[in-house]
């Protein structure tokens, strides 16, 4: 496994691989790897000849009051996990290698980034989309792998790829969960044991909502009310940013639930000082 810190190293390696006609898979992460990330690596490993993993805690996707400094990091451990999972190249640049002094260019993917998490984290998706585009330009892979846990991020990236005519295939992989159902997230590390235990209420309420829809409930408001009440009743949930039922494609809110389109049930809540998100998609 080669560890790269410089953009020029990435370019040179990719050029050599492409000359040989090798298919390249890219797994962009913020590090502190867990089984969710590793499932992306495994998918890339199966579909591509060479796998690039990037580890970059992207400063531009954190707001000024957010947890950039608190975000868990452990590069040494990440390198071991990456090597065990047969990653070929790691790109783990310093922030200043990616965002040079005087950087001013940003990409906005439009309306789909203004709702849900975009309402509560203004500028977040601008930072995500810009950084992902930069990574795609630095490592012009054939396929890039993203988890469905960050569902809105996935939709924004797909929209950017489509609108900007990027020649890369976005592969989305299922959310990986703990035994109790909690979606794996590097941020889970920040939870106290009691918080961690109670955090499963997100998944429970998503499943509850899914069950209601599958049983024929057509009024999102009713489903939402049940979920919000249960979340509020849990003393470890500090705040509910949203619990929404939306069109899984354009993220528009649904007023009534008609099967025939994919339906997204998504939530973002605060467990203590840690913001967790999760979702379930019901396919038509």
Q: Which residues bind a copy of itself (CB under 8 A)?
A: 7, 11, 100, 103-112, 129-130, 133-134, 137-138, 140, 159-160, 162-167
Phi, psi for 269 (deg, rounded to 5): -140, 160
Let me know: does 216 contact 177? Beta carbons within 8 Å: no
Tokens of 251: 């993220």
Tokens of 14: 């990719």
Of 25, 17, 14, residue with least CA distance to 48: 25
In the complex with a copy of itself, the residue whose CB is nearer, 16 or 256, is: 16
In the complex with a copy of itself, the residue whose CB is nearer, 111 or 255, is: 111
In the complex with a copy of itself, the residue whose CB is nearer, 20 or 76, is: 20
Of 30, 8, 273, residue with least CA distance to 150: 30
Assess whether 142 carries a catalytic annotation.
no
Of 185, 151, 145, residue with least CA distance to 39: 145
In the complex with a copy of itself, the residue whose CB is nearer, 155 or 206, is: 155
H/E stretch holding 79 reads helix 75-84
Q: 124-138 and 151-163 helices cross at what angle (nearest 10)?
A: 60
* Neighbouring residues of 26: CB distance < 8 A, sequence distance ≥ 6: 44, 51, 52, 54, 135, 136, 139, 141, 143, 144, 145, 168
In the complex, minimum distance from the CB of residue 270 to a copy of itself, in angstroms, rounded to a whole number: 29
In the complex, minimum distance from the CB of residue 156 to a copy of itself, in angstroms, rounded to a whole number: 9
In the complex with a copy of itself, the residue whose CB is nearer, 15 or 194, is: 15
In the complex, minimum distance from the CB of residue 45 to a copy of itself, in angstroms, rounded to a whole number: 25
* Spatial separation of the C-alpha atoms in residues 99 and 60, rounded to whole Å: 9
Let me know: does 32 contact 74? Beta carbons within 8 Å: yes
In the complex, minimum distance from the CB of residue 141 to a copy of itself, in angstroms, rounded to a whole number: 13
Tokens of 131: 């950084």
In the complex, minimum distance from the CB of residue 261 to a copy of itself, in angstroms, rounded to a whole number: 16
Q: Which residues are catalytic?
A: 37
């Amino acid at each position: 496994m080669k560890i790269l810190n410089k953009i020029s190293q990435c370019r040179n390696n990719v050029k050599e691989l492409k000359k040989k006609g090798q298919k390249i898979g890219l797994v962009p992460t913020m590090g502190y790897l867990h089984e969710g990330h590793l499932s992306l690596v495994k998918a890339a490993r199966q579909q591509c000849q060479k796998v690039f993993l990037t580890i970059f805690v992207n400063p531009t996707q954190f707001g000024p009051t957010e947890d950039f400094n608190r975000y868990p990091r452990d590069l040494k451990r990440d390198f071991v996990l990456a090597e065990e999972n047969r990653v070929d190249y790691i790109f783990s640049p310093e922030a200043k290698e990616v965002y040079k002094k005087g950087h001013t260019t940003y990409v906005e993917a439009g309306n789909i980034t203004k709702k849900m998490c975009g309402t509560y984290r203004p500028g977040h998706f601008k930072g995500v989309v810009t950084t992902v585009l930069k990574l795609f330009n630095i490592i012009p892979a054939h396929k890039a792998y993203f988890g469905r846990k960050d569902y809105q991020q996935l939709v924004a990236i797909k929209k950017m790829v489509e609108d900007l005519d990027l020649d890369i295939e976005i592969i989305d992989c299922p959310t990986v969960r703990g035994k109790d159902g909690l979606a794996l997230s590097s941020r889970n590390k920040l939870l106290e044991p009691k918080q961690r235990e109670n955090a499963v209420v997100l998944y429970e309420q998503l499943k509850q909502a899914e069950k209601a829809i599958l049983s024929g409930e057509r009024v999102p408001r009713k489903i939402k009310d049940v979920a919000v009440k249960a979340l509020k009743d849990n003393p470890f949930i500090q705040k509910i940013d949203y619990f929404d039922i939306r069109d899984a494609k354009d993220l528009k809110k649904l007023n009534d639930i008609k099967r025939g389109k994919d339906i997204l049930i998504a939530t973002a809540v605060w467990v203590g000082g840690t913001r967790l998100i999760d979702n379930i998609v019901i396919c038509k």
